[in-house]
Amino acid sequence: MEILNPITAAEVAQKLLEIQAIRLQPEKPFTWASGWKSPIYCDNRLSLSFPEVRNLVRDELVKSVRHFFPETEAIAGVATAGIPQGALIANELNLPFVYVRSKPKGHGMENMIEGKVTPGQKVVVVEDLVSTGGSSLKAVEDLRHAGFEVLGMVAIFSYGFEVADQNFSNAGVKLVCLSHYDALLPQAVASHYINESTLKSLSEWRVNPSKWMQE
């Protein structure tokens, strides 16, 4: 995983905390669908309701596409949260936009990809959040199967799991994120969202999330 720059990573993390798109509560952890206990919950869709944050995210994702993937010919959003972000980016770059369903449409053309499919077109995939990378990379697989050339992926936030880095590396996909867990924690401490004692528990979770608070 790469980031655009550390300043952007800190600013985006701070804004997501301010609008409560990211919540930290190690004393009362969330339970993920996988069964993992987590001190963090991230819903970047909330950024769409705050124009200042929405525009910041859009502008920095556009910069990321231009900097890391200058050959981009189209933008693809991952359903569902990557769809509005991807559409905003495509509009700003004046590029075609498609989105990838989590499963084929159950009627009509039974499309997996909505929008004009142009084999050979160089596309950048847009996600809002990356955890292990499973669903994100499934979208990449579907785009490749349809004939697109996937240049890489941009996302708003990543938990920074080692398994995600391995999955993206194995799939041959470059991942660029605006912010990540390591940039978030200092902002949370500085804004008194968490204290130094809480920081230890939050750091331990990222190292071994499946075992955190299981003992």
Cβ neighbours, 10 Å, residue 158: 27
* Residue 211 resides in a domain: no
Share of the chain above pLDDT 90, in %: 76
* Mean pLDDT value of segment 60-86: 97
Whether the CB-CB separation of 80 and 101 falls below 8 Å is answered with no
The answer to the question of whether 101 is labelled as a binding residue is yes
* Average pLDDT for 205-210: 85
What distance lies between CA 215 and its chain's CA centroid? 30
CATH number of the domain to which 11 belongs? 3.40.50.2020
Q: Is 143 annotated as a binding residue?
A: no
Tell me if 95 is assigned to a ligand binding site.
Answer: no
Answer whether residue 210 is part of any domain. Answer: no
Residue 164's domain spans which residues? 2-204
Residue 13 lies in a domain: yes
Tell me the H-state helices in the chain: 6-18, 51-68, 82-93, 134-146, 162-171, 181-190, 196-207
> How does strand 97-100 pair with strand 113-114?
antiparallel
145 is in an annotated binding site: no
In a domain, 185, yes or no: yes
Q: Is 58 annotated as a binding residue?
A: no
Q: Is residue 212 part of a domain?
A: no
pLDDT band at 111 (very low <50, low <70, confident <90, very high): confident
Is there a domain that residue 214 lies in? no
130 annotated ligand-binding residue: yes
107 is in an annotated binding site: yes
For the ranges 30-34, 104-108, 186-190, the maximum mean pLDDT occurs at 186-190
Residue 213, in any domain of the structure? no
Span 49-76, average pLDDT: 98
How much is the pTM? 0.93
**Binding site annotation covers 132?**
yes
In a domain, 65, yes or no: yes
Number of structural domains in the chain = 1
How many other CB atoms sit within 10 Å of the CB of residue 100? 27
* Tokens describing residue 17: 């905390």
